[in-house]
């Protein structure tokens, strides 16, 4: 299986869930696309409201009761939170040995909100810190929301943006149109 095939399969599983916001994280070790929980890992498809341990965003970095604080607090139950934590738990307790490379693909039907984008960046930084400079780390976000790579809306009367702005059109090898963002 190729990486694009795995992403395509993930998008099918996400869309099979119906309406709502869903994510799944694929962890590819040493370039081998294998989700046997030994040589790689794939989280469950997780819906909005799943939340969990918010390891990758500290609310203390925001001024209390600011729009940014309220959005970050509200997004603490987003599907990305649960998926990132699940993938992190596997990387820190399930993976044996030190890999040569770690590629993580965050797959969704909607782009991540701004606080989740920060979580994903912190997740990438944590992987780099965990494995050191000798391990190649790549984190990519792939989603297939309609119309544009980002859209502005409100959630509980708090302004938010889903997705990364101004991404070029892209597609998987099977022709599925997607938005791709390489986290650095």
Domain of residue 98, residue span: 3-183
% of the chain with per-residue pLDDT over 70: 99
Predicted confidence at residue 176, as pLDDT, reads 96
Predicted confidence at residue 151, as pLDDT, reads 92
- Using alpha carbons, list the distances in angstroms from residue 38 to 56, 96, 112: 24, 8, 28
Predicted confidence at residue 110, as pLDDT, reads 95
Predicted confidence at residue 85, as pLDDT, reads 95
pLDDT digit string (tens) for 19-33?
Answer: 999 999 999 999 999
Predicted confidence at residue 182, as pLDDT, reads 98
H helix or E strand, kind and range, residue 118: helix 114-131
Least reliable range by pLDDT among 53-57, 84-88, 105-109, 116-120:
53-57
In this predicted structure, the answer to whether residue 183 has a pLDDT above a threshold of 90 is yes
Average pLDDT of the chain, as a whole number: 94
Predicted confidence at residue 53, as pLDDT, reads 73
Domain count, the chain: 1
User: What Rg value do the Cα atoms of the chain yield, rounded?
Assistant: 16
For Cα atoms 101, 43, 68, give the angle at the middle one, nearest 5 degrees: 90
Least reliable range by pLDDT among 22-26, 125-129, 153-157:
153-157
C-beta of residue 76 within 8 angstroms of C-beta of residue 51: yes
Residue among 78, 125, 79 nearest 104 (CA): 125
- Using alpha carbons, list the distances in angstroms from residue 122 to 54, 60, 97: 11, 15, 23
In this predicted structure, the answer to whether residue 36 has a pLDDT above a threshold of 80 is yes
- Using alpha carbons, list the distances in angstroms from residue 119 to 82, 100, 128: 11, 24, 14
Predicted confidence at residue 61, as pLDDT, reads 87
Predicted TM-score of the model (pTM): 0.95
Predicted confidence at residue 138, as pLDDT, reads 98
pLDDT digit string (tens) for 40-66?
Answer: 999 999 998 887 778 898 888 889 989
């Amino acid at each position: 299986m190729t990486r694009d095939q795995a992403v395509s399969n993930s998008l099918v599983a996400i869309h099979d869930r119906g309406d709502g916001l869903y994510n799944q994280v694929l962890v590819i070790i040493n370039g081998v696309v294998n989700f046997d929980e030994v040589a790689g890992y794939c989280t469950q498809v997780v819906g909005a409201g799943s939340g969990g341990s918010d390891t990758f965003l500290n609310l203390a970095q925001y001024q209390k009761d600011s729009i940014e604080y309220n959005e970050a607090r509200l997004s603490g139950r987003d599907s990305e939170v649960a998926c990132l934590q699940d993938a992190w738990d596997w990387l820190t307790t399930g993976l044996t040995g030190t890999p040569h490379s770690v590629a993580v693909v965050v797959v969704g039907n909607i782009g991540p909100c701004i606080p989740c984008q920060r979580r994903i960046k912190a997740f990438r930084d944590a992987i780099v810190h965990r494995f050191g400079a000798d391990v190649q780390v790549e984190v990519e976000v792939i989603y297939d929301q309609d119309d544009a790579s980002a859209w502005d809306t409100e959630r509980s009367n708090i302004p938010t943006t889903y997705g990364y702005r101004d991404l070029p059109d892209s597609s998987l090898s099977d022709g599925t149109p997607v938005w791709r963002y390489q986290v650095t």
